[in-house]
Amino acid sequence: MGQNGAGKSSILKLLNGTLTPTEGAVNTKIGARVATARQTMPPEFRELTVDDFFAAQFSEEEDPGAELPSMIAAVLNDVKLDAPSDRLVRSFSGGQQARLLLAAALIKDAQILLLDEPTNNLDAGGIRHLRKLIQETDQTVVVISHDEAFLNSFTDSVLYLDIFSKKVEMYNGDYMFVKAKPQPRAI
């Protein structure tokens, strides 16, 4: 958590490797796969079919080949979205696109899942389902969200980025505990 511009999205980019630190290092478990559910659908994906959208999530080395259709079906089921394989991504509502973005992260079967404002465009049912997915996963999940009730439902620690002091503090406890009685630990 932190003010706008404090660097929350930058931390996600450092964790998923799309941003390189200018000093220091980002360390994750060796071989750990990291997947990110983006906040909004990138323009380059909007003209793709559902099948092509999911295929684009993999590099040539990662290409699942003939397994892809069953993988797509599984993650679409996980996010409770009926998405015909030939339907264009742009034809989905904002909430449906949010579910596609989550499914795109889930299809990577990563050990670390990064979610940037995942409740944007989701209705109450979608938020309940996302909360349940997070609560039941054995993955490490890092979430940026302004939805306090959502965060409090699964949070066990909070990183607070302060735009003014340029410090990151770690708090143990759920989101509401942190708001009520902070116990910072500089990291």
**pLDDT recorded at residue 187:** 59
**pLDDT recorded at residue 186:** 54
With vertex at residue 154, the alpha carbon angle to CA 153 and CA 160, rounded to the nearest 5 degrees, is 100
Residues in the chain, pLDDT under 70 = 181-187
Give kind and range of the element (H or E) at residue 101.
helix 94-106
Say whether 99 sits in a helix, a strand or coil: helix
* CATH number for the segment(s) 8-186: 3.40.50.300
Give the pair of three-digit tokens for residue 35. 């997947």
**pLDDT recorded at residue 157:** 86
How does 89-115 read in b/e, with b if 16+ C-beta sit within 10 Å? beebeebbbbbbbbbbbbbbebebbbb
**pLDDT recorded at residue 88:** 97
- For the segment 3-13, what is each residue's pLDDT rounded down to a tens digit? 888 888 888 89
**pLDDT recorded at residue 185:** 55
pTM: 0.84
- For the segment 116-152, what is each residue's pLDDT rounded down to a tens digit? 888 888 888 888 888 998 999 888 999 988 788 888 8
